């Protein structure tokens, strides 16, 4: 018998299970990768709620648009080294970094 939960439901369940332990830091790696747009939107909304409760979250994700909405500090890592760091506003306004490191 196959999975009874969709990919998005599995991801939300994984986040919920992690939160049950009352962690000081929630670490997510590509939490929305490969999911339907509505499911991704729900996950980002859940992360925003978690953030509003003052829980620290480390998110690795390629979805810059949604990531910049919730991130306080951003790091761009290239070949294992931090090549850029700053706030979301700083990254939005740094056209050189957006182009050079993120291809935007």
What pLDDT digit, counting tens, does each position of 9-43 carry? 888 888 888 888 889 999 999 988 888 898 889 88
Q: Where are the domain boundaries for CATH 3.40.50.300 in the chain? A: 1-71
What pLDDT digit, counting tens, does each position of 48-86 carry? 999 999 999 999 998 899 999 999 999 999 999 999 999
Q: Which fold has domain 1-71?
A: Rossmann fold (3.40.50)
- In SS3 terms, 13-80 reads as HHHHHHHCCCCCEEEEECCCCCCCHHHHHHHHHHHHHHHHCCCEEEEECCCHHHHHHHCCCEEEEECC
């Amino acid at each position: 018998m196959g999975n009874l939960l969709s990919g998005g439901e599995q991801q939300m369940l994984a986040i919920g299970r992690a939160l049950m332990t009352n962690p000081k830091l929630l670490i997510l790696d590509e939490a929305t990768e490969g999911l339907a747009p509505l499911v991704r939107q729900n996950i980002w909304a859940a992360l925003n709620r978690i953030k509003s409760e003052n829980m620290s979250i480390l998110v690795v994700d390629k979805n810059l648009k949604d990531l910049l909405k919730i991130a306080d500090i951003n790091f761009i890592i290239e070949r294992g080294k931090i090549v850029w760091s700053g706030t979301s506003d700083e990254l939005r306004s740094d056209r050189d970094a957006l182009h050079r490191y993120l291809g935007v």
